[in-house]
Chains A and B, each alone.
Chain A
């Protein structure tokens, strides 16, 4: 008979060892899959690394993928820290991109130094408001924020589709349903061959780190997430903190939308989020909601994404394979958390 028993606390080093074992296990498992598909696993892995970081161009492309993941994960981490399950990063990104695009399209001739900050602020406000719908409904009617944020994703994406196919459709795009390209002033400038979004992401990471560790608000968010009763008893204003934290969470996700629109797409389209809002939930969670760790997990995930693209081109391996790889890695790493907390007990036949 096999039984699952809760373990006593596993110390830090051993816990890390478990996680490393999990990663190794994931690699072995993926290797078996590669073999089954008739590919040399070592070649596949080296191609992933090769394709994602080994040349300057590839590294920059990987970083380009990592930027929105970092910002979205930071946003998600603020809400998750309070145990407010905001899985609406996708929608908040879209609404942020919408807010930014509004100014990019209607005030294209503003000087860049004015227009870009304006777009960022608009994006953050739009994303923040979009997320706040869920927190306001939760406070007023005790709705489930997981469902509300999830559903609002689809509303936001469809809103962008509407803009793309109707309201903001470019009449000069010869029958294609496209929103016009941004003016030069509305495009993020490059620093070291990569749009300035990477600096914004790092600044956000530092701000969120300080916010969570060294400010009253961060402390309140953490206490509320851990124990609402205690927070109440200590005189914290639960509603206020929840509204602020959720707005902040959405604002960050909105900022990611502005960066994608202005730094990558140079326009707005319905593929702007591309599922990153969900990937970011994973990276935030794997980083245990810690800002520095989020940078690492987001970069690693960006490597996987880029590496997957490279595999498709280089080895004609379908891109679904890289999705499977992601799935396997996630399965093992999250699974290792189980083994850190529980163990199996093999017992002989029951003595009766």
Chain B
């Protein structure tokens, strides 16, 4: 039995200890905003925040997460006011297929929490772990800068 705190809610889960958080979110908790992309931490589609740090949920077994604060894209979706990163993503018309974008947004929020005015190098360091097959990188970079200005 694992007890997890996700988006401020407490969940008691009777699931195998080594099950990655990603699949608990997606297949059991209906938190499907977090996406499966590769299962080996190479693409960033499954990015969540663990104690505020961006982490790949596909490689995080639930046994390692007890007592830690987990935040998913749904935390930002359920608020009345959009996060500046979400606003910028809409304003800059970033998404194409959109599948990687929850992960990209979670990566960008974590970046801006640390660095209010990131330069290109900061953006590359924070976001190079996020793949996008549609090729939205230029707009992602622009949206992060827009969010930094408006945040």
The finding on whether chains A and B are genuine partners in a shared complex, rather than unrelated, reads no
Query: B residues engaging A (CB < 8 A)?
Result: none
Interface residues of chain A, those whose CB is within 8 Å of chain B, are none
